[in-house]
Structure 1
Amino acid sequence: MWETLKYKFDKYPARMNVARKMVELGLRVGKDRKIYCADLKISDMALAKAAGVERKTIKFTVDIILEDAELTNIFENIIPAGTLLKNIAKNLGLGVIEIEVSFENIGILAAASKLISEKGIGIRQAYATDTELEEIPTLTIITEEIVPGNIVNEFLEIKGVTKVSLS
């Protein structure tokens, strides 16, 4: 997808900022040329501010998206991922494991999940940042309970894991 976006918006870095922000936030383009997060309409001004562009850039970006079948197929079908429990986990008695990964990250989620399940701990949520969006890709796992600190070294043994933090 990112190669397609880079190619389509190559000459328009501000429009690429808008497209990137839309993907990051799970925003879609409606047939009415408006931007939505699920069924909530997002103002052009709010998106422009978040993307660091002028408001008119939003309209130009939507025009490009709807004039291109491939982009339309992507941006009409984006669905927001939902609430990430990371910032409220402590309030809910949940654990948080943040795993920074290298770009050689195949199998890290499977290995981390296996390690957690072997400790008899349930996983409530797992979220991985997009390696194309983030300078330091991170896998965040929310667990049903606080994970003991002695597990950190076991995570660090997983190929591609560069740093682990627990909270």
Structure 2
Amino acid sequence: MWSEIIGKFKGMPSQEKVVRLLLERGFQVDGQGHVVSGRIEIPHTQIAREVGVDRRVVDATTEMILKDDILKRVFMNIHSIASFKDVAPLLGLGVIIITPDNAQNIGILNDVTSVISMFNLSIRQAVTDDPFFTDEPKMTVITNDVIPGELVSELRKLKSVKSVTIQ
């Protein structure tokens, strides 16, 4: 699906940059062509500055999104989520960052959560990078308690896991 969306901007690399940013950040495009996060409007000049294009490129991109039924449905309904990765240690929560052997494989999340549950840790949040947007996607798992060293050792034994780090 993502390649179909990006494909609609083939030959328009500046607009593709804008679309990738909107998708990565979960920004919506409202019915008036404004880029929003919830009810907060994000100026097109800010979007343009972030991706290194002119504001008019952002204007043209949002216009194109509103003219295409598929793009319109996607961008009017996408939402961003908060990641607790950086604040979890301050709250006494554990953070495990998993780099999978191959993010396209099936069952990685199941493998990881099965091992975590053996240590009686509750998972507060699990967020994975989309391999379409990230060269080296990772899975971040926030647990209700600090991570014991034995858990890291067990996770490293999984065939689906390339590396494990904790914060």
Classify the TM-score, shorter chain. Answer: over 0.9
Contact persistence 2:119–2:151 (CA under 8 A): no
Alignment correspondent of 1:88: 87
Alignment correspondent of 2:148: 148
- TM-score, normalised via structure 1 length: 0.95
Q: Distance in 1 between matches of 2:103 and 2:121?
A: 27
| Match runs of 1:103-122 below 5 Å | 103-122=103-122
Q: Distance in 1 between matches of 2:104 and 2:2?
A: 18
Contact persistence 1:108–1:158 (CA under 8 A): no
Cα deviation, residue 54, structure 1: 1.4
| Match runs of 1:41-56 below 5 Å | 41-56=41-56
Instruction: State the one-letter code of the partner of 1:114.
Output: S
Instruction: State the one-letter code of the partner of 1:147.
Output: I
Q: How many residues align?
A: 166
Alignment correspondent of 1:60: 60
Cα deviation, residue 58, structure 1: 0.4
**Aligned to 1:86, what secondary structure does the other structure show?**
coil
Q: Where does structure 1 differ by over 3 angstroms across 4 or more consecutive aligned residues?
A: none
Instruction: State the one-letter code of the partner of 2:98.
Output: I
Q: 5+ unaligned residues in a row in structure 2: which ranges?
A: none
The answer to whether 1:130 aligns with 2:130 is yes
- TM-score, normalised via structure 2 length: 0.95
Shift in alpha-carbon separation, 1:104–1:158, aligned structure 2, 3 A: farther
Q: 5+ unaligned residues in a row in structure 1: which ranges?
A: none
Contact persistence 2:6–2:19 (CA under 8 A): no
Q: Deviations over 1:111-151 (max 9, x none)?
A: 11111111011111000001011110100000101111222
Identity %: 33
Q: Distance in 2 between matches of 1:48 and 1:96?
A: 33
Larger CA deviation: 146-155 vs 19-28: 146-155
**Aligned to 2:3, what secondary structure does the other structure show?**
helix
| Match runs of 1:13-28 below 5 Å | 13-28=13-28
Q: Distance in 2 between matches of 1:116 and 1:103?
A: 19
**Aligned to 1:19, what secondary structure does the other structure show?**
helix
Q: Distance in 1 between matches of 2:34 and 2:27?
A: 10
| Match runs of 1:23-34 below 5 Å | 23-34=23-34
Cα deviation, residue 33, structure 1: 1.2
Contact persistence 1:99–1:140 (CA under 8 A): yes
Q: Distance in 1 between matches of 2:13 and 2:153?
A: 42
